[in-house]
Amino acid sequence: MDVPEHVVDMAAPKPSRLFSSSARDAGLSLVRNLSVPKPFPDAAFEAQFLEDHCRRFCAFRRASALLALTVWICFLWYDFSFGRESAVLAPVFMQIMVLRLAGIVLLGFVGSLTLRASFATHATSQRVILTGVYGCNVLLVLMVALAPGPYNYTWYFVGLYLVFFFQSGFFYLMSGVALTAAAITFSSVIVMQFTIRILSPEDFYMGMFYLFNVVVIGHGVCVHAERVSRERFAAERALGVLNNELSTANVQLERKNLDLLASEKEQDTKTNALLALKEQQMLAAETASKEKSNFLAAATHDLRQPMHALNLFLQAAAEALHHDDVTEAARLIDESGRSSVILARFLNAVLDLSRLESGRVVPRYHVFDLKIAVLEAAEQLRPLATMHGVELRLRMPQAPVYVRSDAHWLGRAIVNLVSNGIRYADASKKAEPVVIVGVVRSATRTRIDVVDNGIGIASEHWDSIFQPFFQVGNAEQDNDRGLGLGLSIVNAVVSILEEHRIELKSTEGRGSRFSLEMPICGSPLGEAAPRTRGDEAADLQTVPLDGLYVLLVEDDSLVRASTEALLVQWGMLFDSASSFEEFEETLNTIERYPDLIITDFRLRDSKTARDVAMLSAARIGRRCPCLVVTGEPAATIVPLACDHDVLSKPVSPFELRRQIASLISGRQEGETARAC
């Protein structure tokens, strides 16, 4: 295939154009090889290069100085061997020898300087080398001036070539410094030639021609060596930077790998911990389930006893009434009441323990006198102590002992501890059974000590007695000896009260001491203490309830019917409602203000006692006392829109009457104060 002609012209340039391009490249290369390399723009970087260049060629420069001394000595031997036999050199022989010896001294001095540690620095090495170069040039020029022709040119002028050779090829001077030294020497020879005519014209022009070529060639060598050194230094530094960056990257990568390994290890640890926690939770759940099952089984067993007795007593009373035996029926009804009291007490204890252990109980802290709580517990339990033949003694300081605690639950704990000491009195001892309740005060804390001289507790039972239904020395499960829940409730109460703790010391057969400890608080100013019991409870039983008007809201028909029957026996008037809607209709038809509202907490259709209280306040136009009777612990912390109190089912008739009287008395006192 033939190639077009214009394509051939484009592929093959013309010879004239190729020649001019080559000539231009050659010229540029020559200029570059003869141009002094520019220093690095960064002065610090330039200084580092000079020091590195000096250290790199320090050993070679020392060897070159020793080589120059050896060459100079060889020329001395040559002059001494042939110069003394020459009749032409005889007149200046001694002067030549003196100059040769001076050169040996100069180069020996320079050689000694090169052996010092300071020669490794750029400034020192440059001064030492230039001292030797300039000294040798001066001595050689003097020899040229002293020696007659043609020896001054053939023997001594050529020595300048060797000096420039050493200067450019062995000492690795910077090209600018070497060029300056050569220019000074070259100019000095020209000046001396035109002033004192040290050479013949033919030798001068010939010598200067060769000397110029030696200077140019030596300068090119210096330029090339310096440029190579600079490029290598820059490349090494760049490589060093890259190596540092690579090392840093490697370190970071290694750190990340270690972090990753640590993270994986931590993740494995967390996973193992979660698995262990899950296993522990499963074991805890299984244990709790077993304990709850055991608790329910024990509670069901103990609950059946008074319930069974209650059913039998009621049936027997019905049979007695059928046979017109009123006296026996009354006795059997009294026994039924005793069974119902035991049943209510048991249910309350079980519910209290359940509420405490479930975490639903939120303590209501007040500042009050601990002595009052102890006195109330003692007065409440004196009939029980008298029944068991136990002497109840109190040991308390004269001054008030203020503490910050929940008066209700702390009182329950005190009552349980004291009743526990009374019930486990040892009647077989000669000494009279005694229970001592004392309040002991220290600088920052106080404690209630309940000490008895009863049967005592063996050390192996100290942990078990705080478990539900565990009783020491009551294998026959006599209800008069307790239900086995008192100390469990005490332990649960102490666990929810801040900075409260309980201690036990006991000796089997000699008695026990329970210590309930808590921090002392300051003055009770600014905090209202809860209502106290004691003599107030007895006084409230005498408050007349005849003619009082009550609104009853209860969705359970059995509870509503029993409450209505009790209200009738107390002489109270009432309207009852089985739902919130029925209560609303009742409010539209009443003809007098109610003295009290008795309601369950949770009603049908998601209504609560709060809705009842708010509706009554809106319809009646004033606040009305409200008594909430419920089986839900949450009701005790639900705010109501009226004066209120809460009773937890089951409620004894005694407690119900006392609470009704308390609310009615409080309202009457408030109305009297407003009237005044």
Q: Which pLDDT does position 505 carry in this prediction?
A: 82
Give the DSSP letter of residue 93.
Answer: H
Q: Which pLDDT does position 343 carry in this prediction?
A: 64
What angle (nearest 5°) sits at the alpha carbon of residue 388, between those of residues 384 and 389?
115
Closest CA to 648 of 353, 302, 248: 353
Query: What are 469-522's pLDDT values in tens digits?
Result: 555 555 445 545 445 566 777 877 888 888 888 888 877 777 888 888 888 886
Least confidently predicted of 287-291, 391-395, 654-658: 287-291
Q: How confident is the model at residue 634 (pLDDT cuts 50, 70, 90)?
A: very low
Q: How confident is the model at residue 174 (pLDDT cuts 50, 70, 90)?
A: confident
Closest CA to 114 of 103, 101, 129: 129
Please tell me the distance from the alpha carbon of residue 417 to that of residue 465, in angstroms, as a whole number. 12
Q: How confident is the model at residue 670 (pLDDT cuts 50, 70, 90)?
A: very low
Task: Tell whether omega for the bond before 650 is within 30 degrees of 0, i.e. cis.
Answer: yes
The yes-or-no verdict on residue 179 having pLDDT over 90 is no
Q: Which pLDDT does position 533 carry in this prediction?
A: 44
Q: Which pLDDT does position 540 carry in this prediction?
A: 57
Q: Which pLDDT does position 159 carry in this prediction?
A: 85
The yes-or-no verdict on residue 265 having pLDDT over 80 is yes
Which residue has better confidence, 169 or 8?
169
Predicted TM-score of the model (pTM): 0.44
Q: How confident is the model at residue 456 (pLDDT cuts 50, 70, 90)?
A: confident
Q: How confident is the model at residue 673 (pLDDT cuts 50, 70, 90)?
A: very low
Q: Which pLDDT does position 193 carry in this prediction?
A: 86
Q: How confident is the model at residue 619 (pLDDT cuts 50, 70, 90)?
A: confident
Q: Which pLDDT does position 414 carry in this prediction?
A: 87
Average pLDDT of 653-666?
Answer: 79
3-state secondary structure 459-504: HHHCCHHHCCCCCCCCCCCCHHHCCCCHHHHHHHHHHHCCCCEEEE
Which residue has better confidence, 26 or 297?
26
Joined together, the tokens standing for residue 192 give 């001396």
Between the alpha carbon of residue 68 and those of residues 71, 73, 106, 135, 577, the distances in Å are: 5, 9, 11, 12, 131
Average per-residue pLDDT in the chain? 78
Least confidently predicted of 32-36, 427-431, 453-457, 634-638: 634-638
Q: Which pLDDT does position 102 carry in this prediction?
A: 92
Which residue has better confidence, 668 or 663?
663
The yes-or-no verdict on residue 268 having pLDDT over 70 is yes
Average pLDDT of 273-287?
Answer: 81
Q: Which pLDDT does position 6 carry in this prediction?
A: 45
Which residue has better confidence, 665 or 533?
665
What angle (nearest 5°) sits at the alpha carbon of residue 236, between those of residues 231 and 240?
150
Please tell me the distance from the alpha carbon of residue 443 to that of residue 421, in angstroms, as a whole number. 28
Place of tokens 């010229």: 27
Place of tokens 């484009």: 10
Strands (E), 74-227: none
DSSP secondary structure letters along 19-33: HHHHHHHHHHHHHHH
Average pLDDT of 382-391?
Answer: 83
Average pLDDT of 144-173?
Answer: 84
Average pLDDT of 321-331?
Answer: 81
Which residue has better confidence, 231 or 526?
231
Which residue has better confidence, 53 or 673?
53
Place of tokens 């990340």: 256
The yes-or-no verdict on residue 584 having pLDDT over 70 is yes
Which of 204-208, 429-433, 647-651 has maximum average pLDDT? 204-208
The yes-or-no verdict on residue 592 having pLDDT over 80 is yes
Q: Which pLDDT does position 81 carry in this prediction?
A: 83
Using DSSP bridges, classify how beta strands 596-599 and 549-553 pair: parallel, antiparallel or unpaired. Answer: parallel
How much of the chain exceeds pLDDT 90, in percent? 3
Please tell me the distance from the alpha carbon of residue 319 to that of residue 537, in angstroms, as a whole number. 37
Which residue has better confidence, 61 or 336?
61
Which residue has better confidence, 216 or 640?
216
Task: List Cβ<8 Å contacts ≥24 apart for 195-203.
Answer: 196/145, 198/141, 198/144, 198/145, 198/152, 199/144, 199/149, 199/152, 199/153, 199/157, 200/149, 200/150, 200/153, 203/149, 203/150, 203/152, 203/153, 203/157
Q: Which pLDDT does position 306 carry in this prediction?
A: 66
Query: What are 213-222's pLDDT values in tens digits?
Result: 888 888 888 8
Partners of 450 in beta bridges: 437, 514
How much of the chain exceeds pLDDT 70, in percent? 78
Domains and CATH numbers, the chain: 39-234 (no CATH), 364-533 (3.30.565.10), 540-675 (3.40.50.2300)
Give me the sign of the Cα torsion angle 263, 267, 273, 274: positive
Average pLDDT of 434-446?
Answer: 87
Please tell me the distance from the alpha carbon of residue 114 to that of residue 61, in angstroms, as a whole number. 8
The yes-or-no verdict on residue 105 having pLDDT over 90 is yes
